[in-house]
């Protein structure tokens, strides 16, 4: 009726879907970089898997039999792309890096520039289309057929199973295979059962984000991400909620899976059906047959409430990698980062620390050879090569540098063994680095361990440090007392 608005809609859809259509290229880049290979080869690998000459994964899900094939000496290989898929490109990226390192090790230097990239891509490309892609797709098809058969036999059990695995399926991209099942049902039966069963998961992703926004209430950045991701979920787009909030923090994602299982079982029990695969989120009921709106909306509301309850409940369990991640329980103390005797930072035999060029802090003359975290936080820096220092961002936003010895960078890592990596979440008292004081002293260096506060959290008013020459125990003794601003302290104490 209004063709001018169709053009607007098409452009919006193009912008919205581009990152997902080329998702393998983005994942190829990040995965190859993580595995230690050339990220540019990862980008090319991902683009190979979504080449426009291939049948789109979305079309393949709807009409697998219509997909053309390559005939490789009698071996018929489907010409299918992997849009929106994660597992195939992850496996292919790992293979690519292994091949790249092999060729770099065994080919002469004069030939590496010419041969490494094309040989790596050529072999990985064939492996992707001949083995990796078909094997992962076959596994996905088994999952699809298994869920459908269980749902047809026992709708409540099938609905619970599909609701439980729906969120992980979105991560892997396997949820696209169910699109073909839903479309086939709509075309042959005139109704769809699996789509409304999976929709409570969309509501659950948004509800978990709202709960996380409250948990993150003292961290404006995280809170805003959670709010916006939740809003996106209620409009039918769950990827921001999954990757930006829920999966990242683990326990809200588990809450989503459990609530999704309940919502799926509810929809299966009442045999809720829709006329088509509709829009997700709060308007999803429009695709459900009107006579079943009551059952459907009741299931959505119960799933919403259950997700919030489970998110708060699980936040207080071991599923929460860091109980303080939302500043609900902001630490008032910085515990000893080594066992030994305290020393004023002004007495450290290094002007960078003694003159507080990196910030105020405290030092410890160690009697043990372990550097531990002074509070809960995340590893942001591990000095590569020398391994003598670690940077942490604590949960209140405070940034800390922990440094072992003076001029120990000259030792080039000899005598230092890091036990954490960048992005690891650590707890107070967790060992970060093991070091050898005897080697440090033999090399002519002081083994004093220093903590410098390079940036204070916004809610911190001041930090008072322990007096010099006091015996402390790593992870137990308090070496720094944090004084928060009035509102923050009141919340933390509560």
pLDDT (tens digit per residue) in 270-282: 999 998 888 888 9
- At residue 150 the predicted structure's pLDDT band, cuts being 50, 70 and 90, is confident
State the DSSP code for 470. -
Q: Which residue has the higher pLDDT, 27 or 85?
A: 27
In this structure, how many other beta carbons lie within 10 angstroms of the beta carbon of residue 444? 10
Contact 399, 391 (CB under 8 A): yes
Paired residues of 344 in beta bridges: 362
DSSP, residue by residue, 248-273: HHSHHHHHHHHHHHHHHHHHHHTT--
The answer on pLDDT for 345 being more than 70 is yes
CB 485 within 8 A of CB 332: no
Structure tokens at 480: 């720094």
- Of 489, 479, 470, 471, the residue nearest 334 (C-alpha): 479
| pLDDT single digits (tens) 331-341 | 457 999 999 99
Give burial (CB, 10 Å; 0-12/13-18/19+) of 353: buried
Q: Which of 452, 477, 484 is nearest to 335 (CA)?
A: 477
Residue 483 has pLDDT above 70, yes or no: yes
pLDDT of residue 332: 54
User: Does this model's pTM top 0.85?
Assistant: no
Closest CA to 422 of 392, 380, 376: 380
Least confident window among 135-149, 151-165, 202-216: 135-149
Six-digit token string for 308? 């919030």
Q: Which two tokens stand for residue 64?
A: 């697998």
Lowest mean pLDDT among 92-106, 138-152, 220-234: 138-152
Identify the pLDDT of residue 180: 65
Position 72 pLDDT exceeds 50:
yes
**Residue 326 confidence (pLDDT) above 50:** no
The mean predicted confidence, pLDDT, of the chain is: 87
Q: pLDDT digits over 431-468, tens only?
A: 999 999 999 999 999 999 999 999 887 667 788 899 99
Q: Which H or E element spans position 489? A: helix 486-493
Q: Are strands 69-72 and 416-418 parallel, antiparallel or unpaired?
A: unpaired
DSSP helix/strand/coil, 326: coil
Residue 485: pLDDT band (50, 70, 90) is low
Q: What integer pLDDT is reported at residue 484 of this predicted model?
A: 64
Element (H, E) at 61: helix 57-62
User: Do residues 353 and 452 touch, judged by C-beta distance below 8 A?
Assistant: yes
Whether 452 and 392 have beta carbons less than 8 Å apart is answered as: no
CB atoms within 10 A of CB 243: 13
CA distance 253 to 209: 10
Q: Give residue-wise pLDDT tens across range 379-391.
A: 999 998 899 999 9
Name the pLDDT band for 187 (thresholds 50, 70, 90): low
DSSP, collapsed to helix, strand or coil, labels residue 325 as coil
For residues 228 and 241, give the distance between their C-alpha atoms in angstroms, rounded to a whole number.
Answer: 8
β 340-344/361-366 pair status: antiparallel
Q: What is the pLDDT of residue 379?
A: 94
Cβ-in-10-Å burial (0-12, 13-18, 19+) of 6 comes to exposed
**End-to-end Cα separation, the chain, in angstroms:** 58
With 0-12 CB in 10 A as exposed, 13-18 as middle and 19+ as buried, what is 467? exposed
Burial of 436 (0-12, 13-18, 19+ CB in 10 A): middle
Q: Is the pLDDT of residue 488 over 70?
A: no
Q: How confident is the model at residue 188 (pLDDT cuts 50, 70, 90)?
A: low
Instruction: Kindly state the tokens that stand for 165.
Output: 């695995």
Confidence at 151, pLDDT banded by 50, 70, 90:
confident
Rounded-to-integer distance, Cα 107 and Cα 113, Å: 10
pLDDT higher than 80, residue 121 = yes
What distance lies between CA 22 and its chain's CA centroid?
19
Q: How many CA atoms lie within 13 A of 444 on its CB side?
A: 1
- The H-or-E segment that residue 365 falls in is strand 361-366
H or E, element range at 432: strand 431-435
Among 314-318, 359-363, 467-471, which stretch is predicted with the lowest mean pLDDT? 314-318
Q: What is the pLDDT of residues 295-310, one digit of tens each?
A: 999 999 999 999 999 9
Q: Please enumerate in sequence order all residues whose Cβ is within 8 A of that of 371, keeping only pairs 6 or more positions apart, or say none.
A: 337, 338, 390, 402, 404, 431, 432, 433, 434, 435, 449
Residues with Cβ within 8 Å of residue 151, at least 6 apart in sequence = 157, 158, 159, 161, 162, 193, 194, 197, 268
Mean pLDDT of 105-124: 91
- In this prediction, residues 154-182 reach a mean pLDDT of 82
Question: Which residues partner with 340 through β-bridges?
Answer: 366, 472
pLDDT recorded at residue 392: 94
DSSP 466: P
Which of the 8 DSSP states describes residue 214?
H
Q: What is the dihedral of CA 108, 111, 115, 116, to 10 degrees?
A: 50
User: Residue 360: its pLDDT value, please?
Assistant: 93
């Amino acid at each position: 009726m209004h063709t001018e608005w169709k053009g607007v809609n098409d452009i919006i859809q193009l912008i919205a879907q581009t990152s997902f259509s080329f998702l393998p290229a983005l994942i190829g880049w990040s995965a190859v970089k993580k595995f230690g290979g050339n990220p540019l080869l990862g980008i090319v690998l991902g683009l190979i898997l979504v080449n426009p000459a291939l049948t789109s994964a979305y079309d393949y899900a709807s009409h697998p039999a219509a997909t053309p094939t390559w005939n490789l000496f009698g071996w018929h290989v489907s010409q299918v792309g992997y849009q929106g898929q994660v597992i195939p490109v992850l496996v292919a990226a790992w293979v690519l890096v292994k091949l790249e390192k092999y060729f770099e090790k065994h080919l002469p230097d004069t030939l590496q520039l010419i041969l490494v990239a094309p040989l790596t891509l050529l072999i990985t490309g064939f492996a992707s289309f001949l083995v990796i892609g078909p094997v992962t797709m076959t596994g996905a098809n088994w999952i699809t057929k298994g869920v459908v058969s269980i749902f047809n036999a026992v709708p409540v059990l099938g609905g619970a199973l599909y609701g439980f695995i729906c969120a992980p399926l979105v991560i892997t991209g396997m949820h696209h295979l169910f699109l073909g099942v839903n479309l086939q049902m709509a075309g042959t039966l005139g109704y769809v059962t699996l789509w409304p069963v999976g929709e409570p998961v969309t509501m659950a992703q948004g509800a978990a984000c709202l709960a996380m926004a409250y948990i993150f209430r003292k961290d404006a950045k995280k809170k805003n991400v959670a709010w916006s991701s939740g809003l996106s979920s209620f409009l039918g787009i769950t990827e921001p909620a999954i990757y930006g909030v829920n999966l990242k923090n683990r326990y809200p994602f588990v809450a989503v899976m459990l609530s999704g299982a309940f919502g799926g079982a509810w929809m299966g029990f009442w045999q809720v059906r829709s006329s088509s695969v509709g829009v997700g989120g709060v308007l999803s009921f429009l695709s459900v047959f009107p006579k079943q709106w009551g059952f459907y909306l009741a299931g959505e509301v119960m799933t919403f409430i259950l997700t919030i309850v489970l998110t708060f409940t699980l936040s207080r369990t071991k599923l929460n990698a860091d109980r303080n991640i939302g500043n609900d329980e902001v630490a008032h103390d910085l515990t000893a980062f080594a066992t030994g005797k305290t020393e004023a930072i002004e007495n450290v035999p290094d002007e960078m620390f003694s003159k507080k060029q990196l910030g105020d802090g405290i030092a410890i003359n160690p009697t043990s050879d372990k550097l531990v975290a002074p509070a809960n936080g995340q590893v942001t820096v591990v000095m590569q090569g020398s391994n003598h220092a670690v940077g942490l961002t604590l949960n209140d936003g405070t940034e800390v540098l922990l440094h072992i010895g003076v001029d120990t960078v000259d030792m080039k890592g000899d005598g230092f063994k890091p036990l954490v990596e960048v992005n690891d979440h650590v707890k107070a008292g967790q060992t970060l680095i093991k070091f050898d004081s005897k080697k440090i002293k033999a090399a002519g260096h002081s083994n004093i361990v220093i903590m410098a506060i390079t940036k204070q959290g916004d809610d911190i008013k001041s930090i008072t440090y322990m007096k010099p020459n006091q015996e402390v125990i790593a992870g137990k003794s308090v070496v720094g007392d944090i004084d928060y601003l009035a509102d923050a302290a009141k919340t933390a104490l509560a």
